[in-house]
Chains A and B, each alone.
Chain A
Amino acid sequence: MKVLVTAKRVVDYNVSIRVLSDNSGVDLNNVKMSVNPFDEIAIEEAVRLKEAGKVEEVIVVSIGTSACGEQIRTALALGADRGILVETEEDMQPLAIAKVFKALIEKEQPKMVILGKQAIDGDNGQTGQMVAALSGLAQATFASEVVVNDDDTATVTREVDGGLEVISVKLPAIITTDLRLNEPRYASLPNIMKAKKKPVDTYSPEDLGVDVTPRVKTLKVTPPAERAAGIIVETVEELVDKLKNEAKVIS
């Protein structure tokens, strides 16, 4: 069976980002870019399923400018078999990405699509759900364990607010990964070398018949407010008074 996985190009999690002076976004000039960490977990899960003999082919998808080829290469070095780059200069929003995936699902007929539960740039956390809705497929989000069964189903443990929820989904299904699903590996040197020889197909959204026009307009991007300095209270009475009357957290 085939699995599609994602490799979104995002600012590396180690970089401390800077908001542009015109508040239109984040400065991406000369900033180190990496695969979205949740997508790394998705790639790792697919590669493990392949190593376990449950999956024949892992196809990695990245959507964006030609630079996204770097993230595809990274995923290929980690063990994906081939890549698909959907190349566009457009600002890709979750709905547009979901439509691209719908088209790719029709084209590739995978049994599973594994996506990060969110990307660390936009923190939207909605693409996987949209893909499931548009494609009419089952979804299992926030997965912390995925077991592929022989009867064309998967048993997925989900991290929900109250604890863990175990569900069974019919394949093909859309799965989004949570942090504790696995610990991604690093690429070995032979695999880094092999990755260069693996095939990557490039499409435009038009090739796939998808309209990727943005639907959401960004009004303003601002950095989080700086934390104000605290004060030192003299007595317990003063503390209680401030908590009661100033912070209004106790009554």
Chain B
Amino acid sequence: MENQDIEEIRQAVRQLCSNYSEDYWLGLDRTGGYPTDFVKELTTSGFLTVLIPEEYGGAGLGLREACVVMEEVCRSGAHAGACHAQMYVMGSVLRHGSDYQKKTYLPKIAAGELRLQSFGVTEPTTGTDTTSLKTVAKKEGDEYVINGQKVWISRIEHSDLMVLLARTTPQSEVSKKTDGLSAFLIDVQAANGNGLTIQPIESMINHHSCELFFDDLRIPADNLLGEEGKGFRVILDGMNAERILIAAECIGDGRYFVDKASAYATNRIVFKRPIGQNQGVQFPIARSYTQVEAAALMVDKAVDLFDAGEPCGAEANIAKLLASEASWQAGDVCMQTHGGFAFAKEYHIERKFRETRLYQIAPISTNLILSFVGEHVLKMPRSY
């Protein structure tokens, strides 16, 4: 039995989510709308402040509790992509921000007054090859001037602040390629139209992703996050938490699909008996269940290590890989179980199917995880 805190949080989030039906999410999917009221309720009831320490107005809990929130959001038929970043992007400020930055921003993030849910790292010509990114920030007096381009920056139109990674020293002038990058806090509302142009990308799922163009955007030098030239660390430190949370979302999706598939297989009568009575229908669902549960164990392991402050890079990556594949498998089986009805939008399966597909690509693709495991866990030669 889970400890009681976890159970209480699970129940509360489940009840909160039940106020937002699947039709609500379908409606937003159709119009590309943002679930403003849902995110607001999740914020004001405290569930996005899990990881913010109590001294800054958060709950001061661990990743375990954060994972339960995200899992339940996904399990309810929602898509956590609209809000999960508010939970962990603030980690950059918490771990690397100055005292002033922490005291200024964290309480407002905890209260929901400031939305910090965008990470500006990926660029059109440098995807996972982060250190080759081309956006530059040049210091001029007490300002930085930013030029360049970013892509797949989610929720930027629904954020007050973003964390941006840009090069402050050319790659040719640093000894380590991870040096010379710096992280900045950008006031999105102030920047928009004043050197920052935001262009939404029409995409397969309702994820509010955008392309950003920086053209002489001037920001106060105080907005540097951490040390100049050490920004790669700022980004890297948040990655394990992000991967584990995403894995928990996959578990939520996986359980959503298994629940839906088994219920439908039990109730749908064809040839005068439930289709789930046929092993050809039943076994794939049972197998999906075993895969989701196995992946959930790996997520548990990664969470335990993370919350204990132990290294967990391998476990976080493995959990994300297994969970994203398990949720995808479960989604596929759920579609097959529903037959033609799976294609009817009102059954919601095709929407969740599209949404859960993302997790094998973002925030890191399966192949990159396999490279990581091959190189860092199994000590084989680096493949890229």
Please measure, in the bound complex, the distance between the C-alpha atom of A196 and the C-alpha atom of B9, giving whole angstroms.
Answer: 13
CB atoms of B15 and A189 under 8 A apart: no
Among the stretches B45-53, B154-162, B186-194, B323-331, the one at the interface with A is: B45-53
A189-B11 contact given A70-B4, A73-B4, CB 8 Å threshold: no
CB pair A190 B8 closer than 8 Å: no
Instruction: Give complex CA distance A74, B45 in Å.
Output: 16
Contacts of A196 in B (CB 8 A): 5
Given contacts A192-B9, A193-B59, contact A186 B4 (CB under 8 A): no
Find out whether the CB atom of A186 lies under 8 angstroms from the CB atom of B59.
Answer: no
Could you tell me the distance between the alpha carbons of A34 and B10 in the complex, rounded to whole angstroms? Answer: 13
Convert A55-81 into 0s and 1s, putting 1 for each residue whose CB lies closer than 8 angstroms to a CB of B: 000000000000000100110010000
User: Are B11 and A186 in contact (CB-based, < 8 A)?
Assistant: yes
Closest CB of chain A to B52's CB: distance in Å? 11
By a CB distance below 8 angstroms, the chain A residues around B46 are 188-190
In the complex formed, the residue of B with least CB distance to A74 is B8
Nearest CB of B to A71, in Å: 10
Contact present for A187 and B59 (CB under 8 Å) = no
Residues of A within 8 A of B342 (CB): none
Total A-B pairs, Cβ < 8 A: 41
Interface centre among B8, B11, B49, B61 (most CB of A within 10 A): B8
A22 to B15 alpha-carbon distance, docked (Å): 36
B369 is an interface residue with CB less than 8 A from chain A: no
Given A186-B16, A189-B59, A193-B59, check contact A73 B8 (CB 8 Å).
yes
| Chain B contacts for A195, CB-based, 8 A | 8
Q: Which residues of B contact A186 (CB under 8 A)?
A: 11-13, 15-16, 45
Chain B contact surface mostly: helix
B12 touches A187 (CB 8 A): yes
B45 contacts A189, C-beta separation under 8 Å: yes
Residue of B nearest to A70 (CB): B4
B44 to chain A, nearest CB (A): 8
Q: Per-residue 0/1 for B1-35: is the Cβ within 8 Å of any A Cβ (1 yes, 0 no)?
A: 00011011101110110000000000000000000
Q: Which of A34, A74, A187, A189 contacts B49 (CB 8 A)?
A: A189
Closest A residue by C-beta to B60: A193
A186-B16, A193-B59 given as contacts; is B45 within 8 A of A77 (CB)? no
Checking B12, B44, B49 against A192 with a beta-carbon cut-off of 8 angstroms, the contacting residue is B12
Residues of B within 8 Å of A73, CB to CB, are: 4, 8
How far is the CB of B15 from the nearest CB of chain A, in Å? 4
A70–B44 CA distance with the chains assembled, in angstroms? 25
**From A34, which residue of chain B is reached at the shortest CB distance?**
B11
Q: Which residues of B contact A192 (CB under 8 A)?
A: 5, 8-9, 12
> Which chain A residues lie closer than 8 Å to B61 at the CB level?
193
* Residues of the A chain whose Cβ atoms lie less than 8 Å from the Cβ of B7: 70
Q: Which residue of B lies closest to A30 (CB)?
A: B1
CA distance A14 to B15 in the complex (A): 13
Which residues of chain B have C-beta atoms less than 8 A from A70's C-beta?
4, 7
The residues of B that contact A74 with a CB separation of less than 8 Å are 8, 11
The CB with the most chain A CB atoms within 10 A, among B16, B46, B47, is that of B46
Q: Interface readout for B36-64 with A: 1 if CB under 8 Å, 0 if not?
A: 00000000111101100000000101000
The CA of A18 and the CA of B45, in the complex, are separated in Å by 36
Task: Find the A residue at minimum CB distance from B11.
Answer: A186
CA distance A27 to B61 in the complex (A): 35
Interfacial chain A residues near B45, Cβ < 8 Å: 186, 188-189
Q: Nearest chain-B residue to A73 (Cβ)?
A: B4
Residues of A within 8 A of B5 (CB): 192, 196
Encode A185-203 as 1/0 by CB contact (under 8 A) with B. Answer: 0111110110110000000
Cα distance, A221 to B44, chains bound together (Å):
46
Chain B proximity mask over A81-98: 1 for CB below 8 Å, otherwise 0: 000000000000000000
Asked whether A77 and B8 contact (CB < 8 A) given A189-B47, A189-B49, A189-B50, the answer is: yes
Q: Whole-angstrom distance from the CB of B383 to the nearest CB of chain A?
A: 43
Interface-centre pick from A34, A77, A186, A188 (highest chain B CB count, 10 A): A186
Residues of B within 8 A of A190 (CB): 46, 59
A69's nearest neighbour on chain B, judged by CB, is B4
A sample of 18 cross-chain residue pairs with beta-carbon separation below 8 angstroms, ordered by A number, consists of: A70-B4, A73-B4, A74-B8, A74-B11, A77-B12, A186-B11, A186-B45, A187-B12, A188-B44, A188-B46, A188-B47, A189-B12, A189-B46, A189-B49, A189-B59, A193-B59, A195-B8, A196-B5
A→B interface (CB under 8 Å):
34, 70, 73-74, 77, 186-190, 192-193, 195-196
Q: In the complex, given contacts A189-B12, A189-B46, A192-B12, what are 5 additional A-B residue pairs having Cβ atoms less than 8 angstroms apart?
A: A186-B11, A186-B13, A187-B8, A187-B11, A189-B50
- Which 5 pairs across A and B sit closest by C-beta, in order of nearness? A189-B46, A186-B15, A186-B12, A188-B45, A187-B12
